[in-house]
Amino acid sequence: MSLQQAITDFRGQFRGVVLEPGDAQYDESRKVYNGMIDRRPALIAKCAGVADVMAAVRMAHANGLAVSIRGGGHNAAGLGVCDDGLVIDLSAINYVRVDPTERTVLVGAGCKWSDVDHATHAFGLAVPSGIIASTGVGGLTLGGGMGHLSRKYGLTIDNLLSVDMVLADGSFVVANADENPDLFWAVRGGGGNFGIVTSFLFEAHPVSMVCAGPMLWNLEDAADVMKWYREFITQAPEEMNGFFAVLGVPPGPPFPEELHLRTMCGIVWCYQGSIEQANAILEPIRCYRPPAFEFFAPMPFPMLQGMFDPIYPSGLQWYWKADFFKELSDAAIEKHLEHAAKLPTWQSTMHLYPVNGKVNRVGEADTAFSYRDVVWSEVIVGVDADPSNAGRITDWARSYYNDLHPFGAGGAYMNFMMEEGEDRIRATYRGNYARLAAIKAKYDPTNFFHVNQNIKPAG
Ligand SMILES: Cc1cc2nc3c(=O)[nH]c(=O)nc-3n(C[C@H](O)[C@H](O)[C@H](O)COP(=O)(O)OP(=O)(O)OC[C@H]3O[C@@H](n4cnc5c(N)ncnc54)[C@H](O)[C@@H]3O)c2cc1C
């Protein structure tokens, strides 16, 4: 049967939308969040439900098509889309059901975190996720998931209770602590290597109002602030999260005009408690190095989650580099300052996310996510709207990374990486790699799911 005939048959059994080159929505649907990525799949299957996912997997198998899995489309390396293959687009599988009694949340694989935050907030609950609400639940969760609530409640995967999945042969399974526990272990950090998750069941926590927002300092204060911060964040109560950033000040409110586009450093706080307690905890830094500007106030948790979305609309050019760190030495701080001073565009940034507290209390072999012994996950992103600046932002991110990498712990958060090859993936999973490769061999022996940070089947 010709591919065209197979596509005609596939359309007949598929409930969602099937797009081919030339179809009106094709070009819009192949775009992903990172504007640097420009790939042309043979087919895009926008699945309406699990039955469509099973049909799409079987169709790709029968016709030898590579498959990419698209959740929110935010992946750094644009792994939600592929050239010449089939994009299994989950965005229409978009539902959230909160069980306030059990404090669990069932989430369809096409949801973004804004969908989850909106639904859970009505019940005074939240699921630990990242710092940007437009990110997809699928990719973020399967890679680990770090954000404002990590110190207190762990990574997103530490709050995952069960998944529904479609495997490489098109069959459906449930994976959790009791059913297919090896698969459940692997998907908690192993990414999209093992199958297509069609729904996630999470534990939620009582988080409603938080005291949150950024404090900014001039670069002259950055060394002192970083030295203070490295001590503070390893001792602070776990209700207090603060990620450190090198950043360009956005050119709009609430930032005062005289700071617009200035390169500064900052800490974005999120405290689960009263404003009086928060102010007492933050008094030392306000006295030691008073911020040049701050926007720190009580707010609903979803407001914090959505705070940075307007700064980073879809379609910008992004180049990513990442590492994990156990410490922040004086020598490393010097390097940070050197590269901060060369920030190429105001949207480019470096973040140090604390991944200590509860994250460190999970064993490194308890889930696929192995780096449980570090304090920070660093991401360096060169970002700009103008494609002609792609070289400049890439060079800056690479050179920043090259200078900081020798201070790192070895691997990096796989969700903050471009396509960097097998050595980097092995370095990221360390001692867990061999077990992941064996589970891959069991559930996906032909490496059908390979458009990802790929773990090759053992043997
Ligand atoms: C602006 C921005 C901010 C970010 N902030 C954070 C943050 O604070 N914390 C954090 O942890 N991460 C953060 N990330 C990284 C984010 O976790 C990754 O980009 C993640 O891949 C996004 O998930 P997605 O579903 O949108 O990705 P997509 O591009 O849709 O998918 C990426 C890959 O994930 C896998 N995948 C996705 N869904 C499924 C599924 N249902 N079943 C199987 N495999 C699947 C596939 O391998 C796919 O190729 C951020 C990214 C961006 C762009």
How does pLDDT run across 334-375, given as a tens digit for each residue? 999 999 999 999 999 999 999 999 999 999 999 999 999 999
Q: How far is the CA of 276 from the centre of ligand 1 (A)?
A: 36
**Is 365 in a helix, a strand, or coil?**
coil
Question: Which two three-digit tokens encode residue 429?
Answer: 């999973």
Report whether 417 contacts 400 (CB < 8 A): no
For residues 260 and 200, is the Cβ–Cβ distance under 8 A?
Answer: no
H or E element at residue 426 = helix 422-429
Pocket test for ligand 1, best of 151, 153, 415 (most atoms within 8 A of CB): 415
Evaluate the omega torsion of the peptide bond into residue 251 and state whether it is cis, within 30 degrees of 0: no
Q: Which atom belonging to ligand 1 lies closest to the Cα atom of 145?
A: 11
pLDDT digits (tens, 9 = 90+) for 325-340: 999 999 999 999 999 9
pLDDT at 1 > cutoff 80:
no
The number of the ligand 1 atom at minimal distance from the alpha carbon of 165 is 42
pLDDT in tens, 380-401: 999 999 999 999 999 999 999 9
Q: Which of 217, 347, 237 minimizes the C-alpha distance to 282?
A: 237
Out of 57, 75, 141, give the residue to mutate to test ligand 1, the one with the largest number of ligand atoms within 8 Å of its CB: 75
Share of the chain above pLDDT 70, in %: 100
Q: pLDDT band at residue 225, thresholds of 50, 70 and 90?
A: very high
Pocket test of ligand 1: the residue of 52, 91, 135, 162 to mutate, having most ligand atoms within 8 Å of its CB, is 135
Rounded CA gap, 43 and 98, in Å? 34
Compute the average pLDDT of residues 64-87: 97
pLDDT tens figures, 163-212: 999 999 999 999 999 999 999 999 999 999 999 999 999 999 999 999 99
The minimum-distance atom of ligand 1 relative to the CA of 194 is 43
Ligand 1 atom nearest to CA at 308: 1
Q: Where does the pLDDT of residue 2 fall: very low under 50, low under 70, confident under 90, or very high at 90 and above?
A: confident
User: How far is ligand 1, taken at its centre, from the CA of residue 80, in Å?
Assistant: 9
| Mean pLDDT score across all residues of the chain | 97
Both structure tokens of 89: 């687009």
- Classify the C-alpha dihedral 441-446-448-454 as positive or negative: positive
Instruction: Say how many Å lie between the CA of residue 29 and the centre of ligand 1.
Output: 17
Q: What is the pLDDT of residue 3?
A: 85
> How remote is the CA of residue 79 from the centroid of ligand 1, in Å?
9
Q: Which residue's alpha carbon is nearest to atom 3 within ligand 1?
A: 132
**Tokens, residue 23:** 């179809």
Ligand 1 centroid to Cα of residue 319, in Å, is 15
Q: Is the pTM of this model over 0.85?
A: yes
Nearest-5° Cα angle at 290, 289 to 296 = 125
Mean pLDDT of 45-66: 97
Predicted confidence at residue 17, as pLDDT, reads 97
